[in-house]
Structure 1
Amino acid sequence: MPELIFPLDSKRKFTDQAKIGHNRWHPAIPPVAWVKPGDSFRVHCREWFDGAIHNDDSAEDVRDAPLKTVHALSGPFAVEGAEPGDLLVVDILDLGPIPQEDSGPLAGQGWGYTGIFPTKNGGGFLTEQFPDAYKAIWDFSGQIATSRHIPAVSFTGIAHPGLMGTAPSAALLSKWNARESALIATDPQRVPPLALPPEPQDAILGAVSPSEFDQIAGEAARTAPPRENGGNQDIKNLTRGSRVFYPVYVSGANLSVGDLHFSQGDGEITFCGAIEMGGFIDLRVDVIKEGMQTYRVGENAIFMPGRTDPQYSEWLAFSGVSVTLNGEQRYLDSQLAYQRACLHAIDYLTAFGYSPEQAYLLLGAAPIEGRLSGVVDIPNSCATVYLPTAIFDFDVRPGASGPFRVPQGTSAPHAGFD
């Protein structure tokens, strides 16, 4: 086993550990450990809400989830010799749920969760159709996930880190804050908001000194969106065997990782669409000197996907085009086209007895494939969502005998606002 350089005690909060991570991006957050090029090491990760979501049959925890606290990131880890302009090479050697216990109160201890976030607290890809909070708990058996809240399905997860990235430079951080502030200003009262500005409340900044804390907390970027440094990309194929090439913006690169997922569908469409868990990840790092210029990787990571995806061979695919539910034509709007494809898949699954919310949760958690299938044929782009048929305990394909009916009486926990 690689050396454990960031341990987490499952009985203690994220902020009450021997080494404390962070939940904001800022170049002044000190590294918690140094590694050398060629080193392999293990990191423990807490699920993104640090235990705020529970293994129960209520969705009130999702409705009231403390978004200002996320993400609980492990790191930063500085790499000796890495300098701005280099490429940081990160190999994902292994990862999985919390290994210390088989069951317990934290996601990753034999279970994980998927949530539909309410519009008033983050929303999701289909928030106009699903404005309330819902939750599904998934139980782990090896690599297989099943849920008491979504009957008659089981699938092999594609474990991956939802979030991994390098620290921004001061100039890059300033660019993020300026452009996102300008976007918010176009519609400052929008719910959910157009972007998340710096928020000092609930900021976790590792070993930042008390004298600097307030200034850094007021500048530090939230970790919710992906940006040029990688970050919260939620790419389900960044699994075992993946190699990622990250731009380096600060000395040491300052790599951080977290938001582990047991499984996820392309797009993580419910916002908390993956099966969230805490666990461990084993990494190996190296440095390509001046790699950003050499390979023209000025921003955003490039990667080689792992080779351990579940081997599904049969799919039922749904398509959508860029026309709104009200019949308004949009010009090559691929985001809208993917929304319509997902809604078509949800409608289809309700024919088998699933509620729309159960179907939506399933599309977020199961290893569906999302694709931009046509982006040039004006005025309609076409997007598709591929649903693996083998995840169902019944034949999900259309047939002359009509749809199978899943067992009734099971529902996904729901919580609305008063």
Structure 2
Amino acid sequence: MPEVLFSVDQSKRFREQARLGHNRWHPDIPPVATVRPGSEFRLECREWFDGDIRNDDSAEDVRGVDLSIVHQLSGPIAVEGAEPGDLLVVDILDVGPVPQEEGPVAGQGWGYTGIFAKVNGGGFLTDHFPDAYKAVWDFHGQEATSRHLPGVRFTGITHPGLIGTAPSHDLLGTWNSREAELIATDPDAVPPLALPPNPENALLGALEGEQAEAAAREAARTAPPRENGGNQDIKNLTRGARIFLPVFVEGGKLSAGDLHFSQGDGEITFCGAIEMGGFLDLGVDLIKGGMETYGVTTNPVFFPGRVEPRYSEFLTFVGFSVDEEGRQHHLDSQLAYRRACLNAIAYLTKFGYAPEQAYLILGAAPIEGRFSGVVDIPNSCATVYLPTAIFDFDIHPSADGPQRADRGSCPKA
């Protein structure tokens, strides 16, 4: 096992750990450790809501969850010799739930998927699903099942939802400025258009006193992906993936967290993956001057992981850029993907699932989402590929009709 550079006691809250991580992006957060290029190490991770979501049959915890505490990030790790303009090469060697443990915290043999209430974060389909729901998943080796979603069993593509480097002060200012401009276009939007800096519940590693207070007022929230990587939620960043992350500060300051046992493309319920705590084994190296050399200046690039379930058959749902009221939009790929997801949900309800159950399945199972056509005016075409083998009944269309059955229910708040 690689050396553990960031350890987590799963019986304690994140801010009670012996070594503090962070839940905001800021260049002044000190590294918890420094490694040389070529090093391999382990980060232990707390699940993103720090144990607030419980293994029970109620969704009250999801409805009232406090978004100001996320994400719980392990790090930062500095890499010797890393300077602005370099590319940090990160290999994902291994990732998984809390090893050999069962307990009350996600990752200890179980995980969860949630639909956030519209008034508290919402999700991709929040206008159709404004209330909070939850599904709890049990882990069986590499497979997951849920008592709240009977008839479904699949192999997950375990991955860190969030991995990135620290921004520079200039880049942090750019983030805050452009996101503030967006918020100003509709400051009362529900859910909000973006999440501005919020000192409440900010955790900034070893920063203390006035320095911590000043940083908390400008530190960026970790919810969106940005130039530094961050919360990209890419399911194929799994074992065997190699990521090339831009370096904006001395040492790079690599952090990671938000581990997922499984996720569908898009993580469409927002809490759409199977969330868990666990461990992440990484290797790091450097490409000096790599940002300019390869033109990778505003984005990471990566090789996908080599480990994924071998589903060979998919039922594919198509969506176009025509909204639910029948209005035509021009090449709106986001809308097209939404319609493809809604079409898949409508289909699954014919087999006995409630719409929210189908929504949760699409968020957690390893579906594939694709922008299949983006040039043919006026309609973009997006597709959702649903693996047929994850169901213990036949979902193929046939002259006999769907095998409708009582599929239970998932908790609602």
> Is the structural similarity TM-score above 0.5?
yes
8 Å contact from structure 1 (residues 113, 138) kept in 2: yes
Aligned to 2:411: 413
- Please report how far the alpha carbon of residue 245 of structure 1 lies from its aligned counterpart in structure 2 after TM superposition: 0.1
Q: Which residue of 2 aligns with 1:120?
A: 119
Inter-partner Cα distance in structure 1 for 2:298 and 2:248:
10
Distance in 2 of aligned mates of 1:231 and 1:51: 21
Which AA in structure 1 matches 2:397? P
> Does 2:129 align with 1:130?
yes
Say if 2:387 is the partner of 1:400.
Answer: no
Structure 2: which amino acid aligns with 1:412?
C
Partner of 2:243: 244
1:86 aligns with 2:92: no
1:292-303 residue pairs with structure 2 within 5 A?
292-303=291-302
1:24 is aligned to 2:24: yes
Q: Deviations over 1:86-144 (max 9, x none)?
A: 0000000001000141x101000000000001110000000000000000000000000
The aligned counterpart of 1:233 is: 232
Mapping of 1:211-290 within 5 angstroms? 211-290=210-289
Amino acid at match of 1:96: G
CA distance, structure 2, for counterparts of residue 56 and residue 35 of structure 1:
41
User: Retained in 2: the 8 A contact 1:151–1:406?
Assistant: no
Structure 1 CA distance, aligned partners of 2:267 and 2:208? 36
Distance in structure 2 (CA, Å) of the matches to 1:360 and 1:335: 17
- 1:43 alignment counterpart: 43
Structure 2 counterparts to residues 184-199 of structure 1, below 5 A: 184-199=183-198
2:304 aligned with 1:305: yes
Q: Secondary structure of the residue that 1:152 maps to in structure 2? A: coil
Q: Is the 8 A contact 1:113 1:135 kept in 2?
A: yes
Please give the per-residue CA displacement for 1:294-338, whole angstroms capped at 9, x wherever unaligned.
Answer: 111011100000111101000000000000100110000000000
Give the Cα–Cα distance (whole angstroms) in 1 for the partners of residues 236 and 150 of structure 2: 26
Q: C-alpha separation between the residues in 1 aligned to 2:325 and 2:112?
A: 33
Give the CA deviation at 1:10: 1.2
Matches of 1:366 and 1:63, distance apart in 2: 22
Shift of 1:264: 0.1
What 5-or-longer segments of structure 1 have no aligned partner?
none
Aligned pairs (5 A) from 1:325-336: 325-336=324-335
Give the match for residue 69 of structure 1.
69
- Deviation string 1:255-287 (CA, Å, 9 cap, x unpaired) is 000000000000000000000000000000000
Aligned residue type for 1:180? E
TM-score by length of structure 1 reads 0.98
1:339-418 equivalence runs, <5 A: 339-408=338-407, 410-415=408-413
Residue 398 (structure 1) shift: 0.5
- Letter matched to residue 191 of structure 1: V
Q: Is the partner of 1:362 in helix, strand or coil? A: helix
Alignment partner, residue 208 of structure 1: 207
Corresponding residue for residue 178 of structure 1: 177
SS in 1 for 2:20: coil
C-alpha separation in 1, matches of 2:308 and 2:126: 29
Distance 1:162 1:180 in 2: 22
Question: Could you list the per-position Cα deviations for residues 29-65 of structure 1 after superposition, in whole angstroms to 9, with x for gaps in the alignment?
Answer: 0001111100000110011010010000000110011
Contact kept, 8 Å, 1:151 with 1:407, in 2: the verdict is no
CA distance in 2, matches of 1:57, 1:406: 21
2:137 match: secondary structure: strand
- Residue in structure 1 matched with residue 9 of structure 2 by the alignment: 9
Q: CA RMSD in A?
A: 0.6
Q: Secondary structure at the match of 1:343?
A: helix
Runs of 4+ in 1 over 4 A off after TM superposition: none
One-letter identity of the residue aligned with 2:345? I
Cα distance in 2 for partners of 1:228, 1:406 equals 46
Distance 1:94 1:406 in 2: 39
Q: Mean alpha-carbon deviation: is it higher for 264-273 or for 92-101?
A: 92-101
Q: Percent identity?
A: 71
Aligned positions, number:
413
1:405: Cα distance to partner?
2.1
Q: Secondary structure at the match of 2:257?
A: strand
8 Å Cα contact 1:25-1:222 kept in structure 2: yes
Query: Do the aligned residues in 2 keep the contact of 1:137 with 1:149 (CA within 8 Å)?
Result: yes
The one-letter amino acid of 1:278's match is G
Would the aligned equivalents of 1:320 and 1:382 in 2 still touch at CA under 8 Å?
A: yes
How far apart, in 2, do the equivalents of 1:217 and 1:411 lie?
41
Counterpart for residue 105 of structure 1: 104
Q: Which residue matches 1:153?
A: 152
* Deviation digits for residues 128-186 of structure 1 (CA, Å, limit 9, x no counterpart): 00000000000000000000000101000000000000000000000000000000000
AA of the residue aligned to 1:167: A
Query: 1:166 corresponds to which residue?
Result: 165
Q: Name the amino acid aligned to 2:148.
A: H
Secondary structure in 1 matching 2:252: coil
Do the aligned residues in 2 keep the contact of 1:162 with 1:260 (CA within 8 Å)? yes
Contact 1:152 1:406 in 2 (8 A): no
What code does the residue aligned with 1:80 have?
E
Three-state SS of the structure 2 residue aligned to 1:395 is coil
- For 1:406 and 1:168, the matched residues in 2 are separated by 51
Q: How far apart are 1:413 and its partner, in Å? A: 0.3
